[in-house]
Amino acid sequence: MTAPAIVATDVTRTYELDGLSVPALRGVSLTVAAGDYVAIVGASGSGKSTLMHLLGGLDRPTGGTLLIGGQDVSRLSPTEMAHLRNTTIGFVFQSFHLLSRTTAQDNVGLPLVYRGAGRRERRARAAAMLDRVGLAHRMTHRPNQMSGGEQQRVAIARALVTGPSVLLADEPTGNLDSTTGQAVLALLESLNADGVAVVLVTHDREVAARAHRQIVMRDGLIA
């Protein structure tokens, strides 16, 4: 049996703000299985973004246990955490986060720089990923020469270029019109069908309904 991609057990996250302890997560347990498709939903302030940051290894829990790819994040150094993120997690954000003066191909190849991959390998793998998301014809274009939907597909290709087991998507359709958003969701679903686990954070219940299961956050807890 394939091991789970992510396992959180009684995870808490508390922030210290002006001498006050502010609990963002109050004891969350969940498992993201290999090949899962999960939507995390909730109102602003519910804890869904904090949970997303923890699941992606961008932050560490204050308490509880978090395993990513079978590794306990509390035992990892910052360098080991960065390596784990680079090899296990792909990130897609609402605002794309593409380098404006860089071609689609070089944007997609950027995560491979941190792996020490040579330029030829980076460009070849980036070209393959752009082809996979239907943008082989846009390889030499810069973000300002592409539509919002095309930019989001470039961002998805960048998230996939390292071969992650989990794709974390934070409001991936938030800046897109409904038709383009549907096309991006269809792409995520096709990637999920190929075995990539997808964890989607959204406030849109119609988007969430397309996932295999939904996790509703309220006041730092799973409701």
In a domain, 174, yes or no: yes
Mean pLDDT in residue range 38-64: 93
Q: The tokens 């090899």 sit on which residue?
A: 87
In a domain, 1, yes or no: no
Mean pLDDT in residue range 4-8: 95
Mean pLDDT in residue range 15-24: 90
CA distance between the termini of the chain: 29
The per-residue DSSP string of 43-59 comes to -TTSSHHHHHHHHTTSS
What total of structural domains would you count in the chain? 1
| Domain span including residue 64 | 6-222
Read off the pTM. 0.90
77 is written with which tokens? Answer: 């150094």
> Is residue 24 scored above 90 in pLDDT?
yes
Amino acid sitting at position 117:
A
Helix (H, G, I), strand (E, B) or coil at 103: coil
Q: Provide the edge-to-edge strand list for the sheet that holds 6-17.
A: 20-32, 6-17, 63-68, 71-72
Mean pLDDT, the chain, integer: 93
Return d(Cα 66, Cα 139) in angstroms, integer. 38
The per-residue DSSP string of 175-222 comes to TS-HHHHHHHHHHHHHHHHTT-EEEEEES-HHHHTTSSEEEEEETTEE
What CATH number is given to the structural domain containing 35?
3.40.50.300
List, for residues 80-126, the tens digit of each pLDDT value.
Answer: 999 999 889 999 988 889 999 999 999 999 999 988 889 999 999 99
In a domain, 160, yes or no: yes
Instruction: Please report the pLDDT score of residue 1 as a whole number.
Output: 64
How many alpha carbons fall within 13 Å on the CB side of residue 212? 14
